[in-house]
Amino acid sequence: MTAYTPEHGDDDIRTPAALRRVLAEVRRGDHAVGHQSRPWQVSTVAAPVRDGGEVVAALSVVVPGTGSPNPGYGPAVPATARAISRCLIEDSGRTVSVGGIGADSTSKFW
């Protein structure tokens, strides 16, 4: 039986400095985008789901790709994760700050 052994691919992070750069970019954008061409060509977008300021889950979409995220689902994943976060806040009866909502970044519901 032969197992697939990946070579360095599209999104490989090979150094601690590269990892720090990628993590900083993900934190600034509040979502992650990935591309892979081996063994299958896929694109992915992931975003955190928060309950208040705490990350409690993640939402991710992985689709057959061409090397870049589809504009249709790329922005939809973080927007959906924020909507789920707002629902968690509303269900708890709290009003807290959730990034990207309204002018004052505070909301009970989207």
* Domain boundaries of the chain, sorted by first residue: 16-107
Distance CA 100, CA 49 (A): 13
The pLDDT tens digits of the residues spanning 49-104 come to 999 889 999 999 988 876 555 566 788 999 999 999 999 888 777 655 555 444 34
- In terms of CATH architecture, what is 16-107? 2-Layer Sandwich (3.30)
Model confidence, pTM? 0.66
Q: What residues contact 103, with CB distance under 8 A and at least 6 apart?
A: none
Q: What residues contact 87, with CB distance under 8 A and at least 6 apart?
A: 109
